[in-house]
Structure 1
Amino acid sequence: MKIPFSPPYINDSVKNEVMDSLESGWITTGPKVKKLESQIAALTKAPQVLCVNSWTSGAILMLKWFGVQPDDEVILPAYTYSATALAVIHAHAKPVMVDVNEDFNISLKAIEKAITNKTKAIIPVDIAGWPCDYPEINQLVIHKKGLFKPDNEIQEMLGRILVISDAAHSIGAAYEGKQTGVLTDVTIFSLHAVKNVTTAEGGAICLNMPAPFDNEELYNTLRCYSLNGQTKDAFTKSKAGAWSYDIIFPGLKINMPDVLAAIGIGQMEEYICKTLPERIRIFEAYNEYLSQREWAILPKYKSNKKQSSCHIYALRVSGINEEQRDQIITLISTYDVAVNVHFKPLPLLSLFKEMGYSIADFPISYKQYSNEISLPIYPQLTDEEITYIVKAVCESVEQVLYAQEKL
């Protein structure tokens, strides 16, 4: 039995939407993108949603819009994918890394200690689809308003640190009944190939800025920014007599094309009623099997406040180190089961080491990483395959643990 880690879920609805786009004669940004934006807005209740070509470009866009400068600081967790920090670097600001909690998510206490008068934004990350403690983070930035030093009109309007949720993993997750998408000023989903909802490559920015901001007006501004600062998109320009346009911003070229949005439309039609429940089924099955093992530290799917999107099943193995974890993964691979690790903390990566970040400053991040193994979780998995995956994992873990006991 051969089990890949995260193949895309392509159903008939996806195929039909893509063919409809191809046959329409229009494959770049147009009506399909608007429909996907509407679907995500309907799910999240976000006032406005802008689709772009990746999570990373969406984050760069929002930081540039907010006007961050080279001396400005943006707080983010050391435990995240590199894109979180790279977006800050590309926006010409400084990433300020802090440690995480035992649930992998950013530590509120660490954020509070890191805030200075140079802090312009905070980017909490919903690791594995588990929402961060957003009410507390939102209260913290209000409490720290006195430290905030605005440098432009937009920053003066907000009057505090901007909170951008890195919800790359968490479309469909919720905090106290509210969907990710409306828990912070801005939320950005990833629609990459391995995500719960995909457009092959893509991202979606949920705008939830408080008054006096007008989210519809902001959507129109950002849409223009995402199209090279052009006042008309190609779809509008293609209409008879509508060729004239202007360039009013030094924009980016990060729009999502219709042919990719079509994939997302097909997936969104079944996400809440079918594919998300299937992920929950698999998550709960893993928990049921693995709860019988003393060495298994199980991830949460639900609490009295939070509900995960079940994007990643982040198993942790008690009592092992990084080398033993890698040995276990090698053994699991002999069963033809693909597993993964989410993530290497940023200070372990060469780029960030060279910038002066040290993993010694983030002990919980390293502890979580060193014994984490991500198991396959996607709707196509059968009960037989889940049983086989658990067998491969348990036998591999126990082989390493047994060898350790013999030493």
Structure 2
Amino acid sequence: MGDFNLTVILDAIRRSEAGLSRVELAQLVGLSPQTISNISRRLLDQKLIVEAGKEGTGPGKPRTILRLNPKGMYAMGVHLDPALITVVLLDLVGSVVEKNTFVTPQSHDPQEIVDAIAECVEKLLAHSGVDRSLVAGLGVAAPGPIDLERGAVVGPPLLHGWVDVPLQDMVHRATGLPTTVDKDVTGAAVAEIWAGGPGGSGSFIFFYLGTGLGCGLVLNGEVYRGASGNAGEIGHIIVDPDGPVCSDGCGMRGTIGTVLEPQVIVSQAVVAGILPVLPDNPTARDFQGAFARLSELAGEGDETAISIMRGAARSLAWGVSVVGNLVDVDRMVFGGPFWHPVAGFVLDVLPDLVNARLATQGIHRVRLDGTRLGEDVGAVGAACLVLERALAPRAERLLLEG
């Protein structure tokens, strides 16, 4: 119970941009002043928080403000995308201290990928000057499905040859850091909670636009992972009944994975003649560049580009509204490496399209936002997975300790 209360207090301080006094903490979390004082002392001794000056204008003794100590703990995060790998070092407040990206080895060989990750991790740590003992661990955000209990990647469609790969154990052995593995979309949702600012609370859906599409669910401030840790697999939602047959062999037509993946949209523009033919074996940067150019053409008034983008937006609205009707949230957040080029266009047309399809349209309007964390949200989320497991108040932690 004491450890759970510690995480509650730490979380309250984290969520307050200005910091909180001990009196404010007692009022906010409902614990006694003595408990607040004892736990605050522990957190100060552990260097997880600092006393950041005094505040007070009325009668009485000025109150000492408590804030997170950015240098009190660090976490490393790896976003394993089939095309591009991003590695970050995060401080305790969720700021990126160091970052590097490299193209995923074309062989997709698990050991080759893990070795490349380990080399990048060591370079980042050395360059940062951060004491290794202050790094709480390393999180890996990978495409699903994931066997969460074992930290194994079961068989993602875009990582060729990956069948039941024990990624967590492999990365731990290669880096020597405590390692946790979760889905990339789950990591993005955790990033929004931990590092996304005041908007990272309540209930929301994080729609992740990467090489593939998925979503993370946050209900009442906690990520919902599902029975096996694989909630949010939306690739087989039908958005165009007359569309092409799903490439995964499910037999359905016009699924999100078949109609809305960036490679598919870029291919439409290439066939229409408004984008040049991509090189053989195109990389993630090739697709991202083409995707960005398509968005630019739409912004410049190219009618074909606008038509392709509007069609994609309509299909996306169908898929998003299906998920929205299922979980009934206040807010939807969009992000990922392919989000930025289309953010302006999508946020201009999508809110009305989505809200018109929600069963709750007569009760409340759902807000649609882009993440504040940029295209690195997957890697930031992977690092935040470490911080979440170490420090966030979770119901399961209380149940285990009860």
- State the TM-score, normalized to the length of structure 1: 0.28
Q: Normalized per residue, which structure has more strand?
A: 2
